[in-house]
């Protein structure tokens, strides 16, 4: 694991700078103590990172759970009661892992996963534009279209002109220029510039700028536009930031409902992120999904026990890890230690980082996820790929992550049904002489109830006086629903003077008295022809 330290260490620094404001912002949006987000980030990095089989996935608090957490804390009466639900959610995820539920992640279409990555990239850009200009009404990490401030994604952008902070704009532009120049020019000049990443230099410049302009009324950046890490006075006050679950609430049915909700949503977000991260990985590593659920479960148990927010694998931090050149999970683990060390040793220094500089880092991350070329590439693949992709993108931008993915998946399923409808069989008109239509119907290798409509329509459209040959030689699976359609067709065939010849591996039958009888050696449901 340590052989790629020269790649993993610089990547971990970038992930740390991306993760820190997100951990704090998600905690704020969740109505939880700020330190709870940092706890979740540390455990997601160190504990989940160590247990996970993902090379590049980064775990921590997720924006997708913020609304659930906010509601649950109010419903359960206290944050300590809510922590019981987090612990239980972790146990449920362990059960999911043991039951091998991770296989669900493999059933999301590629077009939806690409749409998710692109949609998240666009959301990152749109949500960071206000922060870039110093308008920090919405906490970092929010991804929903409707914001807690009462605005939405676009109205928030329009309002930046009335809320510009000159100092934030200046250092944001400088930081963005440094990052782009570093990536496009310096990184290609010498290895040193790949070890020391542009985002780190941008953050250092941001701190220096704040220190130099703190007394200037025009250029200064106030505390509300800087990172805000809780600063303990001593070791006792640091320990006092931890909360512990009230297990007396475990008999409350509401606690269990919240626990199952968190477990389901967190597991789904994790599996989606795993799929997306594996697609971004230049080395094309494949993450063991069941092991990931076990790692996430262990992480949530520990996070709940010490006062942290629920944890999932998160694509923003994971994509930052990939884009920064991370190679192994060491970068994830180190970023967790950076979070831990920084909040203990240098919280005051962290609180001098302008949010606009961190927004500049995230703008670059967002652009790399949502490059315009990807839209052109997906369009060229045809409508069956492009429609689920674009629906997912639009859904994520105008609702939130899970709703957008749900819409894309629904469209993807409709596309699958249409393809199944079209590909159930092949018709070939061989001869039309002597007043007899000779038609050969060759059924596909797998014929299920999805194909009922297409086959039924074709049979009903056959003209009178037809010689119909039904070829099942290549058909390995024939659903009982299809056999019943053929059985019902026998009556119509006699009325319309249609002769039927059935060819299969079982033998050949001319005008069989019963299709069901022909297949009687197998059960009535799910008849296999193999």
Token look-up 């992930």 returns: 15
As beta bridge partners, residue 426 has 442
* Alpha carbon separation from 432 to 168, 330, 429, 461, 501 (Å, rounded): 79, 71, 8, 16, 17
Tokens of 86: 């987090």
Question: What does residue 282 show for φ and ψ, rounded to 5 degrees?
Answer: -65, -25
pLDDT score at 526: 44
pLDDT-based confidence at 475, cuts 50/70/90? confident
pLDDT(73) > 70:
yes
pLDDT-based confidence at 427, cuts 50/70/90? low
| Model confidence, pTM | 0.83
Contact between residue 332 and residue 58 where contact means Cβ atoms under 8 Å apart: yes
Q: Mean pLDDT, to the nearest integer, of 471-476?
A: 87
Contacts of 12 (CB under 8 A, 6+ apart): 321, 326, 330, 331, 332, 333, 334, 335, 338
Tokens of 460: 């009903």
More confident residue, 417 or 177: 177
Cα 454 from Cα 254, distance rounded (Å):
47
Rounded-to-5 percentages of helix, strand, coil across the chain: 65, 10, 25
pLDDT-based confidence at 268, cuts 50/70/90? very high
pLDDT-based confidence at 524, cuts 50/70/90? very low
The tally of CA atoms less than 13 A away on the side-chain side of residue 195 is 6
Cα 269 from Cα 277, distance rounded (Å):
12
- Tens of pLDDT, residue by residue over 486-510, are 888 988 899 989 999 999 888 888 9
Cα 450 from Cα 459, distance rounded (Å):
16
Helix (H) / strand (E) containing 239: helix 235-239
Tell me the pLDDT of the chain averaged across its residues. 90
- Tens of pLDDT, residue by residue over 204-248, are 999 999 999 999 999 999 999 999 999 988 888 888 899 999 999
As beta bridge partners, residue 226 has 354
Cα 327 from Cα 346, distance rounded (Å):
28
pLDDT score at 432: 57
pLDDT(120) > 60:
yes
pLDDT(256) > 60:
yes
pLDDT-based confidence at 272, cuts 50/70/90? very high
Cα 419 from Cα 284, distance rounded (Å):
29
pLDDT-based confidence at 428, cuts 50/70/90? low
Strands 437-443 and 466-471: parallel
pLDDT score at 107: 82
Count CB atoms within 10 A of the CB of residue 83: 29
Q: Mean pLDDT, to the nearest integer, of 303-308?
A: 98
Contact between residue 134 and residue 225 where contact means Cβ atoms under 8 Å apart: yes
Q: What is the DSSP letter of 46?
A: I
Cα 60 from Cα 37, distance rounded (Å):
8
pLDDT-based confidence at 448, cuts 50/70/90? confident
- CA torsion 28-30-35-36 (nearest 10°) is -170
pLDDT(433) > 80:
no
pLDDT-based confidence at 193, cuts 50/70/90? confident
Helix, strand, or coil (residue 383)? helix
pLDDT(430) > 80:
no
Cα 91 from Cα 293, distance rounded (Å):
10
Contact between residue 362 and residue 18 where contact means Cβ atoms under 8 Å apart: yes
Query: Rounded to a whole number, what is the distance in angstroms from the first to the last CA of the chain?
Result: 47
Contact between residue 71 and residue 328 where contact means Cβ atoms under 8 Å apart: no
Tell me, rounded to whole angstroms, the distance of Cα 471 from its chain centroid.
Answer: 43
As beta bridge partners, residue 528 has 477
pLDDT(527) > 50:
no
pLDDT score at 105: 85
Least confident of 97-106, 158-167, 438-447: 438-447
pLDDT-based confidence at 449, cuts 50/70/90? confident
Contact between residue 327 and residue 68 where contact means Cβ atoms under 8 Å apart: no
């Amino acid at each position: 694991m340590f052989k790629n330290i020269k790649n993993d260490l610089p990547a971990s620094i970038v992930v740390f700078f991306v993760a820190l404001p997100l951990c704090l912002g998600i905690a704020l949006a969740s109505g939880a103590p700020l330190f709870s987000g940092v706890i979740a980030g540390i455990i997601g990095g160190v504990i989940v990172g160590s247990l996970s089989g993902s090379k590049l996935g980064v775990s921590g608090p997720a924006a997708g759970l913020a609304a659930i957490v906010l509601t649950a804390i109010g419903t359960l009466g206290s944050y300590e009661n809510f922590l019981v639900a987090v612990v239980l959610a972790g146990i449920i995820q362990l059960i999911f892992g043991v039951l091998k539920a991770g296989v669900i992640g493999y059933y999301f279409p590629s077009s939806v996963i690409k749409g998710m990555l692109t949609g998240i990239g666009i959301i990152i850009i749109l949500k960071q534009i206000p922060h870039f200009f110093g308008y920090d009404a919405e906490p970092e990490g929010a991804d929903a279209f409707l914001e807690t401030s009462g605005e939405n994604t676009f109205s928030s952008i329009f309002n930046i002109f009335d809320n510009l902070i000159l100092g934030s704009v200046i250092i944001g532009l400088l930081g963005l220029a440094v990052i782009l120049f570093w990536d496009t020019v310096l990184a290609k000049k010498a290895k040193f510039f790949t070890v020391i990443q542009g985002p780190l230099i941008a953050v250092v410049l941001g701190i220096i700028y704040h220190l130099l302009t703190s007394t200037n009324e025009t250029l200064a950046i106030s505390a509300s536009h800087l990172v805000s890490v809780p600063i303990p006075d001593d070791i006792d006050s640091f320990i006092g930031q931890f909360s512990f679950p009230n297990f007396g609430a475990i008999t409350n049915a509401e606690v269990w409902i919240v626990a199952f909700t968190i477990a389901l949503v967190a597991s789904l977000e994790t599996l989606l992120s795993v799929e997306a991260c594996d697609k971004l990985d230049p080395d094309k590593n494949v993450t063991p999904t069941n092991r990931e659920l076990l790692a996430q479960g262990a992480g949530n148990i520990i996070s709940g026990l010490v006062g942290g927010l629920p944890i999932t694998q998160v694509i923003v931090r994971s994509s930052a890890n990939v884009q920064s050149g991370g190679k192994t999970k060491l970068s994830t683990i180190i970023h967790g230690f950076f979070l831990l060390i920084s909040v203990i040793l240098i919280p005051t220094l962290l609180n001098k980082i302008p949010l606009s500089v961190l927004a500049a880092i995230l703008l670059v991350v967002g652009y790399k996820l949502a490059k315009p070329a990807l839209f052109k590439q997906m369009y060229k693949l045809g409508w069956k790929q492009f429609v689920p992709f674009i629906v997912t993108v639009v859904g994520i931008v105008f609702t939130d992550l899970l709703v957008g993915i749900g819409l894309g998946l629904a469209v993807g399923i409709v596309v699958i049904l249409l393809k199944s409808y079209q590909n159930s069989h092949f018709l070939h008109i061989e001869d039309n002489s002597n007043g007899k239509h000779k038609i050969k119907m060759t059924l596909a290798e797998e014929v299920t109830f999805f194909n009922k409509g297409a086959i039924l329509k074709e049979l009903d459209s056959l003209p009178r006086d037809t010689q119909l040959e039904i070829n099942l030689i290549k058909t390995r699976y024939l659903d009982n629903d299809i056999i019943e359609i053929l059985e019902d067709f026998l009556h119509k065939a006699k009325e319309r003077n249609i002769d039927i010849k059935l060819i299969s591996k079982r033998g050949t039958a001319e005008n069989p008295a019963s299709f069901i009888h022909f297949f009687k050696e197998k059960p009535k449901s799910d008849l296999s022809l193999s």
